[in-house]
Structure 1
Amino acid sequence: MSEVKEKYVILVKGFKQYLVWKGDANFSVGEVVKAVGEVKKLNVYGNFWSFNFNKYLNDKNVNESIEYIKILKVFFKDPRYYFFKLNHSENNLANLLLFQNKSNDEVYKNLINLSLSYLSNISGVYLYLFVVFIKKLISKKYKKNRMLSFISLIFMFFYCYLIGMPPTLLKVLIGFLLNKLKKYFNFNLNKITKLSITWFIVLFINPMYLFNIGFVYCTIAILLLKKYKDRKESTNLIINFIVINLVFIPLNIIYDFKIYWLAQIQEIILLPLFFLSFILSFFFVLPFLNPLLNFDYNLLKFTVIFFSKYNLTSLTGYINFGYIIIYYLSLYFLTKFIIFNKKIKFFLYSMLTFSLIGMYFTNTIINIFSQTIEMLNVGNGNSFMINYNSNIFVIDAGAGVGQNKSTLPDYLKYKGLNKIQSVFISHNHSDHYNSLEQLKKETTIKYIYRNLKKDILVEFDDIKFYIFNEYGNSDENDNSQIIVVKLNNQTFLFTGDASKKREARMLNNSLFLELVKNGVDLYQVGHHGSKTATSDKFVKAIKPKICFISGMKKDKLQFPSKETINTLEDNSCQNYITNGEKSYKYKIKSKKVVEIKKEFI
């Protein structure tokens, strides 16, 4: 067993790795076991704009899971087992830095918010003082032994093995080893050759590290970073700071859809604190030092929470790869070459500025001219969004069982949107509202409309929402808001999870019948396409042209039902089903539906 997390375990057999969900079973890192179970391929379907756990595992070379696992025998326990048994310590500092146990750590969560999570990784900076300390400690007795430096290095390789060979640490240790071999055997090794050997070894051990964010950041840094030191010290400091920010701004946009304006300043402040904390973490075995270690951890926690609370970021949304190519080519020539021709230099600076402005403003401009209705893939849940010239209206904010509750909030970030005019929650079932709390934290919401006891009309410019409410039904699905949206001489109907009984009552509502008398341009099919909704009589009355069904076949919930699909097809409705795989966008002006796909240009 190579990894044991809070909810899952990674098992290794030869060169293959498997995911196992823990359940109530007990697993420990370092146990070599005989086990039986059912092997299944991991499904990597998900939304490209949001975190996909199975895709994350695939990038770590975990492609299959073992279900219904049964441990038959424990053969033996390797050194990692005994090392992680020490992890039962209550010391948060040691758990975070020494044992690299980050999953529920408050410091690590806030570092992610700052785009500085790499500070919790064990890097060359943190190792330097430790290696020097070991060397000096031993060299007092063995001053003339040239192999002493290798002893501390071997120790660190062993530690690297104990914590699972993280690439960030492994590449640093390989670099240290190459430096030592170069001095010991007296041969030359230039920077490029050394880096090539290091990456070859790391990728040989784990080829999937090629897809790791750390690899991308490191590669860009190697290609573009240059230390300026030919001017005044203060000038050099400012120039280097600007260059570091310029190098990493596009990467932050690619991965987080944000610019973190203060990241490098925060890093300068936090780096010494983490450096000291890493050294202190080794002393967790001395109980009398625990108050000091706890104080240090709390200081770290206070600092990162403070930085998170008063951070300065700009939401940009996804980035056009054309801008990235222009940006990095311009930056590469400006940082790597001395350019005397003023026209060429002006052109490169112009291209750099143009691409940076494009990255920052493109989504804002696109959203201003957008008029769309978007159905997001949230399994057997509902998350719909109307974008009306950058004014956002959310109709249900939920995700089905086993789906990512961050899907809707993450999609808004992907589109560069952080303000919502109105949120309508159809009824009190979690698959229709369980993303709402995160939306409240990450966006500004002007109005939230939950189920009320009376019908209401909500107007905003040219768009009108006629909301039909019922309250107190024993079946919560029948308490769903039924919303008729009128815009640009088009009609859109959202019915939540309303059943056929509720539909029948709506056919007795004169205002509703008046609103839908000319047919419905887009219809959100009730209850994920369940046979309990969407009666033939109701469909004939609303005459839908396009039908959006947010549902999938999973376990006992087999949505949409064949009966519902037949009813819709019999009434000539064009069906679009998420099916746990796809999201769709209805373009209001052209009345066309397109699949939401990753945009590169």
Structure 2
Amino acid sequence: MFLIIFCLLLIYKFPQYWHLVAIFLGVITTLCFINQRTSELEIGEPILIYSDQVKVSDNFFYGEGKIGKNKVLVNGSANKSFEKELNKYHVVYLVNYKAKVETIMPATNPGEFDYQKYYRSKKIRERVKLESYQIYPKHIVVFDWVHMLRKFLMNYFEKMPQYTRFFASEMVLAQNPSTDNKVLLNSYRDLGIIHLLSISGLHVSLYILGITWLGTVMKRTEEEVTILCVTFLVIEILLSNFQAGFVRASLSYFWSVFFKRKEIMVSSGDKLGIVVLTHLLFNPLLFLSSGAILSYLLVLGLEISKDFKKIRQNFALNLLITPILLHNFYRINFLTVIYNFLIVPIFNFILLPLTFIVIFLFWCLPATVKLSEPIFKGLADLTNFIADKQLGLVTFGQINWLQTIFLLVVTVFLIILPKHMIQKLKLRSMIVGAYVSIFCLIHFPLKGQISFIDVGQGDSILITTPLNRKTYLIDTGGKLNFGKRKSEPQLNRITIPFLYAQGIDHLDGVFLSHQDADHIGDLKALLDQIPVKKLYFAKGLTDNQSFRRKINGHLKDVQLVPLLAGDKVKTKDLNFDVVYPFKPGLGKNEDSLSLTFKLANKRWLFTGDLCREGEKEILNHYNLQVDYFKLGHHGSKTSSDPDFLKQLNPQLVFISSGRDNRFGHPHQETLKTLKDLSIPYLNTQDSGTITWNYSPFNSETITTFYKGNTK
């Protein structure tokens, strides 16, 4: 309703900007179609698989498939014939299969990337986990050739060295071929130039320019050149898997051709509105994608600021997209305008032309990569070097949708109002005041928290204090690999975004309970990305070689503080008392660092993976009673001794355990103990991140992110 009223007011006062209405109608259309689906999923029907849409790794395949009219995620074991037949036929059916169907999980932590929302924008809702299947080749039709061409290009690019392959894949297929380039991608994002890696209007213009030049050289007619441009763009739309920016720019060209042939005079603003509505006809869920929102918002910004000088226009465009960036990515670089001026010319006149030269020549002159790869690597190293300095980069924190819409609306009015108006000065003051106020509320919060982050089968707990915020982490979480190939630290997709969303860019202290991977496996990844003042751990852990490897390279940056029972960690707002271990160890479960402290007159206890024998030792030395307790060892029956729990007498306990974990945590014996003692519990596997908030006025609330419950 708010958007509709805004659109009507805008078109009444500024009728020349009616195309804004089309964009906002697009947002409303997306909201209306979110919960609609094509048809019911019929399990048992053949699953259509294209070779370019699945990946095979370590005898396992995963990717996208199709059952009837419905797209699904599909994964399963890749038997010996799977990859061979997939590469042979490229388009196959999986038949006679046994499968488990799951709805794609949403984000279970604040700040975490929401795969459910992402795949919903691609009209995918379910994940099909195959237990067994048979593979059957499909009869090839015309549309299948596009997927075959895409797979051919993927294999073609795979033969190129790392950086040449990276740019070729990004520019043609709109995809990053491997995880080797995560650092470079993060550098582009931190500098605010990530848009250069998305094929968009710039590439459409270059394609059209190149084809037109080629047509002129070959003395082709204008109509023949136009047909060739349209054909090429349609093929590239398919090859780029309908990348939003490229589709938008291509639709703009198609409509320009149509209007020119029909001799219809249409302004650029009107054409933008028509493009939005056309795009929505093909993809009603378009604006679930932040990439699509940014693409259209930038074009809108170019349209409403077309009379600005270049530098002023760049500032206006960056101001316009800032709310979307802060809502989705939480960090912003205030020197983005400068970085764009420095890097965009290099990208346009060196990287982009060289990429396409190598693509066209590599098949006959493979040695061309000897020229391209050093250039690509040198420029990538330069980009990484600049990004590492973090000049201008600010961890602002996440703004909510109401704040995002408010800032967008005010920014649009600021851009379209004439110069030197009193209203414009008021709008500038309003924007500055809004950003400063939001920043202060995020970085100097009125409430503190204890958050049990949903890191799966592991532990990671964030503790913060209100106002002059202090930040502490108990354990980092980490993934147990069980002999599988080492994957990217899960901290990168869970804990780091969680911290950034709250504007946290450093930690005052990290407490390490013991050596297990599910507790401190991501410690090195954390130290590599977040400044940490002090590491607290049980005495003797430094004798553990695995732990030493994790902290090597950071010994000058962080202070190491070994602890034993009886020690205290005193800070201005919070004091930690160590109640275990009583003697040094090597960081095993029985050596788990155990802490108790008080916040808002509520006592807490954390015992890591401490076993029952250790719990009894604590009982023998301390007469502890607590309000809240994090169950030891993820709810395992080896912890949570009934006498221990009875003595503690907590009003609520917390369990951190993974969904469908192989250990069966929490064990039924533990849950029975809790029931017998009438102790309620909350579990991250059911509730996602669990947060206890408190204020200086002693009010407290407990919220669960996944279910949104409040107790």
Q: Does 1:89 align with 2:159?
A: yes
Distance 1:158 1:117 in 2: 24
SS at match of 2:685: coil
What does residue 347 of structure 1 align with?
426
Query: Does the Cα contact within 8 Å between 1:547 and 1:574 map onto a contact in 2?
Result: yes
* Aligned partner letter, 2:513: S
Change (3 A) 1:147 1:298: same
* Aligned partner letter, 2:119: L
* Aligned partner letter, 1:387: T
| Counterpart among 679, 684, 687 of residue 573 in structure 1 | 679
TM-score relative to the length of structure 2 = 0.75
SS at match of 2:508: strand
| Counterpart among 574, 577, 581 of residue 463 in structure 1 | 574
| 1:276-291 paired onto structure 2 within 5 Å | 276-284=350-358, 285=362, 286-291=365-370
| 1:487-498 paired onto structure 2 within 5 Å | 487=599, 489-498=601-610
What does residue 246 of structure 1 align with?
319
Change (3 A) 1:28 1:296: farther
Query: Does the Cα contact within 8 Å between 1:552 and 1:560 map onto a contact in 2?
Result: no
1:130-183: CA deviation from partner (whole Å, max 9, x where unpaired) = 322322223334354533222133123223323423222222122112212222
* Aligned partner letter, 1:89: K
Following superposition, the deviation at residue 30 of structure 1 comes to: 8.2
Change (3 A) 1:127 1:263: same
Distance 1:294 1:244 in 2: 33
| 1:162-241 paired onto structure 2 within 5 Å | 162-225=239-302, 236-241=309-314
SS at match of 1:565: helix
SS at match of 1:34: strand
Change (3 A) 1:569 1:14: closer
| 1:63-82 paired onto structure 2 within 5 Å | 63-66=125-128, 67-68=130-131, 70-75=133-138, 76=140, 78=145, 79-80=148-149, 81-82=151-152
What does residue 41 of structure 2 align with?
none
| Counterpart among 294, 299, 307 of residue 373 in structure 2 | 294
Following superposition, the deviation at residue 400 of structure 1 comes to: 5.6
Q: Does 1:427 align with 2:486?
A: no
Following superposition, the deviation at residue 554 of structure 1 comes to: 0.9
Distance 1:279 1:55 in 2: 35
What does residue 393 of structure 1 align with?
472
Distance 1:322 1:246 in 2: 17
Change (3 A) 1:571 1:294: same
| Counterpart among 197, 213, 228 of residue 151 in structure 1 | 228
What does residue 104 of structure 1 align with?
179
Distance 2:255 2:599 in 1: 67
Q: Does 1:266 align with 2:339?
A: yes
Q: Does 1:124 align with 2:201?
A: yes
SS at match of 1:558: coil
What does residue 12 of structure 1 align with?
66
Distance 1:375 1:229 in 2: 49
1:569-592: CA deviation from partner (whole Å, max 9, x where unpaired) = 433433222224332222345363
Bigger drift between 56-65 and 421-430 goes to: 56-65
Long gaps (5+) in structure 1:
none
Distance 2:303 2:277 in 1: 24
Distance 2:271 2:304 in 1: 19
Distance 1:229 1:332 in 2: 13
* Aligned partner letter, 1:86: Y
Long gaps (5+) in structure 2:
1-49, 482-488, 541-563
Distance 1:60 1:425 in 2: 41
Bigger drift between 383-392 and 179-188 goes to: 179-188
Change (3 A) 1:23 1:339: same
Distance 1:43 1:98 in 2: 29
Q: After TM superposition, where is structure 1 displaced by more than 6 Å over at least 4 residues in a row?
A: 471-475
| Counterpart among 74, 92, 95 of residue 33 in structure 1 | 92
Query: Does the Cα contact within 8 Å between 1:458 and 1:466 map onto a contact in 2?
Result: yes
Q: Does 1:3 align with 2:53?
A: yes
What does residue 557 of structure 1 align with?
663
| Counterpart among 31, 44, 47 of residue 105 in structure 2 | 44
1:37-81: CA deviation from partner (whole Å, max 9, x where unpaired) = 325133314224112445433332222223235352223473424
| Counterpart among 95, 116, 123 of residue 61 in structure 1 | 123
What does residue 592 of structure 1 align with?
700
* Aligned partner letter, 1:97: M
Distance 1:545 1:215 in 2: 47
Distance 2:154 2:400 in 1: 44
Query: Does the Cα contact within 8 Å between 1:545 and 1:572 map onto a contact in 2?
Result: no
Change (3 A) 1:147 1:564: same
| Counterpart among 327, 351, 354 of residue 407 in structure 2 | 327
Distance 1:214 1:445 in 2: 33
Distance 2:395 2:87 in 1: 41
* Aligned partner letter, 2:700: K
| 1:302-451 paired onto structure 2 within 5 Å | 302-311=381-390, 312-338=392-418, 342=422, 344-366=423-445, 369-389=446-466, 390-399=469-478, 404-406=490-492, 407-451=494-538
1:550-569: CA deviation from partner (whole Å, max 9, x where unpaired) = 12551433332333233234
Query: Does the Cα contact within 8 Å between 2:509 and 2:532 map onto a contact in 1?
Result: yes
Distance 2:88 2:507 in 1: 45
Change (3 A) 1:296 1:471: same
Following superposition, the deviation at residue 495 of structure 1 comes to: 0.9
Following superposition, the deviation at residue 470 of structure 1 comes to: 5.5
Distance 2:665 2:606 in 1: 17
Distance 1:239 1:587 in 2: 43
Distance 1:15 1:172 in 2: 28
| Counterpart among 502, 509, 517 of residue 614 in structure 2 | 502
Following superposition, the deviation at residue 525 of structure 1 comes to: 0.9
Following superposition, the deviation at residue 526 of structure 1 comes to: 0.9
Change (3 A) 1:110 1:125: same
Query: Does the Cα contact within 8 Å between 2:305 and 2:415 map onto a contact in 1?
Result: no
SS at match of 1:138: helix
Following superposition, the deviation at residue 494 of structure 1 comes to: 0.5
1:96-149: CA deviation from partner (whole Å, max 9, x where unpaired) = 433444142523343233343221122222332332232222333435453322
TM-score relative to the length of structure 1 = 0.88
Bigger drift between 17-26 and 212-221 goes to: 17-26
Distance 2:430 2:88 in 1: 51
1:232-285: CA deviation from partner (whole Å, max 9, x where unpaired) = xxxx33322321222122222111112211223222332233334333223332
1:429-466: CA deviation from partner (whole Å, max 9, x where unpaired) = 11111332332233221111222144332111253222
Query: Does the Cα contact within 8 Å between 2:657 and 2:684 map onto a contact in 1?
Result: yes
| 1:129-140 paired onto structure 2 within 5 Å | 129-140=206-217
Alpha carbon RMSD of aligned pairs, Å? Answer: 3.0
